[in-house]
């Protein structure tokens, strides 16, 4: 039996309300769903009329939730999640997990891990489609409605659900060409005389941890190139530009093939860090999302 029109309209209105809060404006929601800002505003107004309360304070500068809006928002997310879970559960009774998953990852992890793993996942789950966004800039998974966000390293506190997939260890390495031209560092202090390639945006990564006389020291690495792209720094290291401290998954192939030589392995703190999948709280029970996370956890 089809849903009554009132039910479907109500779900659409609730969705518009939630996305308005996530994106911060009626115009942004309109651009997303193909309506004008005034059209989205009217949908939310009709929802307010049906509820008999004002959910959003509207000013010329910004939108703000009323106390009633704060209360309704939590329930609205739950309603939308329940509908999504119900639809996914019904679909899964006819076979495999199916539907669309929005996935976000940094460039290095996407190229050196996901590009290898996703073909196997898609072959195993042919009814699931993936929208993979790749960026080395941190995104807001809640406002962008990304189902699964992969993070490498420490996490900030958030309302997202964290699932540990594995860990990454770091390696200090340089190309044979660089070492032939500039010499091979033998102890931590030697790094101060070398050109070190640095990843920007993460201040802790410019302090390279090593052990000297049994004591852990942080060497302030410096060099002539800083970039927010680990992939670019890898290319520069392979070209002989400098010494790089990189995640083991990023340098795996180059190290195995001798294109990069590991350095100071006897005194370097490889600083294991988690690889984590961050999930929207209202998406973790959806079969297709759970299938992807379980697959990555098993493979990583």
Please tell me the predicted confidence (pLDDT) of residue 170. 94
Please tell me the predicted confidence (pLDDT) of residue 87. 67
Written as six digits, the tokens of 260 are 């990069």
The phi-psi region of residue 173 (left if phi > 0; otherwise alpha if psi is between -120 and 50; otherwise beta) is: beta
Measured between alpha carbons, how far is 19 from 57 in angstroms, rounded to an integer?
Answer: 15
Where does the chain show beta strands of DSSP type E?
56-58, 63-65, 99-105, 128-134, 148-152, 161-168, 170-174, 196-199, 207-212, 215-220, 226-227, 243-247, 261-262, 273-279
pLDDT over threshold 90, residue 62: no
Please tell me the predicted confidence (pLDDT) of residue 8. 52
Tens of pLDDT along 204-244? 778 999 999 889 999 999 999 999 888 999 999 999 999 99
Percentage of residues of the chain with pLDDT beyond 70: 91
Tens of pLDDT along 144-190? 788 999 998 888 767 888 999 999 999 999 999 999 999 999 999 99
Please tell me the predicted confidence (pLDDT) of residue 90. 63
Percentage of residues of the chain with pLDDT beyond 90: 52
Range 77-88 average pLDDT = 73
Please tell me the predicted confidence (pLDDT) of residue 229. 86
Tens of pLDDT along 1-45? 344 444 455 668 888 888 898 888 898 888 888 889 899 999 999
Greater pLDDT, 172 or 85: 172
Residues 281 and 159 sit within 8 Å (Cβ to Cβ): yes
pLDDT over threshold 60, residue 109: yes
Tens of pLDDT along 258-292? 999 999 999 999 999 999 999 987 777 788 899 99
Domains belonging to the chain, first-starting first, are 5-92 (1.10.10.10), 99-168+274-299 (3.40.190.10), 170-271 (3.40.190.10)
- Average pLDDT in the chain: 87
């Amino acid at each position: 039996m089809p849903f009554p029109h009132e039910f479907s309209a109500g779900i659409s209105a609730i969705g518009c309300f939630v996305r308005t809060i996530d994106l911060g404006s009626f115009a942004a929601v309109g651009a997303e769903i193909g309506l004008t800002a005034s059209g989205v505003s009217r949908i939310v107004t009709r929802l307010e009329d049906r509820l008999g309360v004002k959910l959003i304070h509207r000013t010329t500068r910004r939108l703000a939730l009323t106390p009633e809006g704060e209360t309704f928002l939590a329930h609205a997310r739950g309603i939308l999640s329940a509908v999504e879970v119900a639809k996914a559960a019904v679909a899964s009774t006819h076979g495999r997990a199916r539907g669309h998953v929005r996935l976000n990852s940094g460039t290095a992890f996407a190229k050196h891990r996901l590009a290898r793993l996703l073909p196997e996942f898609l072959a195993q789950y042919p009814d699931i489609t993936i929208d993979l966004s790749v960026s080395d800039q941190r995104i807001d998974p809640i406002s962008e409605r990304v189902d699964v966000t992969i993070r490498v390293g420490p996490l900030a506190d958030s309302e997202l659900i964290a699932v540990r997939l594995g860990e990454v260890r770091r390696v200090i390495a340089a190309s044979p060409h660089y070492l032939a031209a500039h010499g091979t560092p033998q102890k931590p202090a030697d790094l101060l005389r070398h050109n070190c390639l640095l990843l920007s945006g993460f201040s802790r990564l410019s302090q390279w941890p090593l052990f000297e006389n049994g004591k852990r020291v942080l060497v302030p690495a410096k060099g002539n190139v800083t970039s927010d792209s680990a992939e670019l720094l890898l290319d520069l290291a392979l070209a002989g530009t400098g010494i790089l401290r990189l995640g083991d998954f990023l340098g795996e192939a180059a190290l195995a093939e001798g294109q990069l030589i590991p350095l100071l392995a006897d005194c370097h703190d490889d600083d294991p860090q988690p690889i984590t999948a961050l999930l929207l709280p209202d998406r973790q029970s959806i079969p297709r999302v759970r299938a992807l996370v379980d697959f990555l956890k098993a493979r990583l």
